[in-house]
Structure 1
Amino acid sequence: MLKRLVSAWVWISTGLIALIWLPWMGLVWLFTARDPGRYSVGRWFRLAAVTVTRLNPFWKFRTTGVQIHDPRRPYVAVANHESLADIFLLSHLPWEMKWMSKDTIFRIPVMGWMMRMAGDVMVIRGDAGSRMRALEEARDRLRKRVSVMIMPEGTRSGGGELLKFHDGAFRLAIETGSPVLPIALAGTRHAIAKGSWLVGRARAIARVLPPVETAGMTLDDVPALREKVRTMIAEARTVLQRELAAAGA
């Protein structure tokens, strides 16, 4: 019963925050029109997710790892995907990234409108033309000196194992000369189970790993870059899982 009550509170408060945030984001969008990267309006959007997390008594999220000293240096950030709650955890990172998200999220009233104002990138799963358009939009964000966030697994696994990484993020990084920023996530799988609306108790960590430079690489290097980054994330994720287990999470 407590889990259902807390879950209802979380989703109701999420909706209320979205309604409160929408007009404010509209004003920020209007008054920062000179920044084509929409950095400020995107940052305010992520802060809405941080506020939702702070109102949730079941979640304890934190970030660790490499510090990014120049938030306007564009990276292709990649992270493993454990749960819908990954969005809330990654929003705690203190710089803006434009998310590549599936079209069903963009269709959510209010949420989708804010994502469009923030400059996030929509992709239709299974549509090759949409993937190409999404990658071109991601190039546009990088040119405007804003990082992009891509989850190269493409979906969450049912059993929690790390899935195969797809090539898109790594091709994008090499083609634009952008460094890849690996981020390992652990703990969010218990926050919102796949296929469920119920919110669970969870401690979760996002650890930012050292950037991987792509200068001098060609598209022939995509497989090696992809596997290097996947190995970095897999190893860091294992460490984080041990830390959470030791803390009793």
Structure 2
Amino acid sequence: MLKRLISLWVWLSVSVIVLVWVPWLGLVYLVTVARDPGRYTVGRWFRRSAVLATKLNPLWRFRTTGVRIHDPRRPYVAVANHESFADIFLLSHLPWEMKFLSKEAIFKIPLMGWMMRMAGDIAVRRGDVTSRARALDECRDRLRKRVSVIIMPEGTRSVDGQVQKFHDGAFRLAVETGCPILPIAVAGTRAAIAKGSWVFGRATAVAHVLEPVETTGLTLQDVPELREKVRQLISDARATLLAELQTAQA
């Protein structure tokens, strides 16, 4: 019962945040878009709304660790494992802007979808080859404008908690553009909210940024090896994070 009451409070808080943020984000967009075609500033303000929503949730304790990015305008193709819908809230705590590649259905949520489009996030329709190609073109556009993109190459959240097979798209994109891969290991969000549920769970979660993996000199023939290398890095780091979280909670 307590979790249900807290969840009602959090969803009400999120609704208020969205109602306040939409006009503010619209104003920031109008003021900055002409000189900031990559929508870096708008995106940063949008991520702040997710950070605020997290702070208002007493069941969640989110933090980031690992490598610090000294030049936020050097574009990376960031890749992360996918545990939960809450991953978006956790990754928004990172102190630089990245455009999220997200399923099209989220963009259809009233007000939320508007903010995502203003922020320059990228929609993709699962199973649609044309949509995937268009989404990758939009990713290239953001990278040319010196803004990183983040892709979850599992394609969907993990069912059993293990890091699933990675798809090639993010790695082909990095090789074709010459941008480094930025691996990010996510751990602990699986308990934050169950798929298909509106009730929040108690969760302590970490997003750990690993050393960038350069792609200079690589060709498309190197994509499978690159993909598996990065997947293993993320999987190993996630296992370490989970062990540390379990020890801390013991």
RMSD of aligned Cα (Å): 0.7
Secondary structure of the equivalent of 1:217?
coil
Matched, 1:140 2:141: yes
* Aligned-partner residue type, residue 27 of structure 1: L
Residue 195 of structure 1 deviates from its aligned partner by: 2.1
Q: Which runs of 5+ in 2 are unaligned?
A: none
Matched, 1:191 2:185: no
Native 8 Å contact 1:158 1:194 kept in 2: no
Match of 1:110 in 2: 111
Matched, 1:56 2:57: yes
TM-score, normalisation: structure 1: 0.99
Match of 2:6 in 1: 6
1:42-121 matched pairs, under 5 angstroms = 42-121=43-122
Residue 248 of structure 1 deviates from its aligned partner by: 0.6
Percent same amino acid at aligned positions? 72
Match of 2:183 in 1: 182
Matched, 1:240 2:241: yes
Counterpart-to-counterpart distance in 1, 2:9 and 2:177: 43
* Aligned-partner residue type, residue 32 of structure 1: T
TM-score, normalisation: structure 2: 0.99
Counterpart-to-counterpart distance in 2, 1:209 and 1:194: 27
Native 8 Å contact 1:3 1:199 kept in 2: yes
- Runs of 4+ aligned structure 1 residues displaced above 4 Å come to none
Higher mean C-alpha displacement, 57-66 vs 156-165: 156-165
* Aligned-partner residue type, residue 52 of structure 2: T
Match of 1:18 in 2: 18
Native 8 Å contact 1:4 1:198 kept in 2: yes
Residue 13 of structure 1 deviates from its aligned partner by: 0.9
Counterpart-to-counterpart distance in 2, 1:129 and 1:180: 24
Counterpart-to-counterpart distance in 2, 1:25 and 1:94: 18
* Aligned-partner residue type, residue 14 of structure 1: V
* Aligned-partner residue type, residue 46 of structure 2: F
1:122-161 matched pairs, under 5 angstroms = 122-161=123-162
Secondary structure of the equivalent of 1:45?
helix
Counterpart-to-counterpart distance in 2, 1:164 and 1:8: 35
Match of 2:40 in 1: 39
Secondary structure of the equivalent of 2:249?
coil
* Aligned-partner residue type, residue 29 of structure 2: W
* Aligned-partner residue type, residue 24 of structure 1: W
Counterpart-to-counterpart distance in 1, 2:226 and 2:41: 31
Secondary structure of the equivalent of 1:194?
coil
Aligned pairs, number: 249
Counterpart-to-counterpart distance in 1, 2:158 and 2:83: 7
1:207-218 matched pairs, under 5 angstroms = 207-218=208-219
Higher mean C-alpha displacement, 5-14 vs 181-190: 5-14
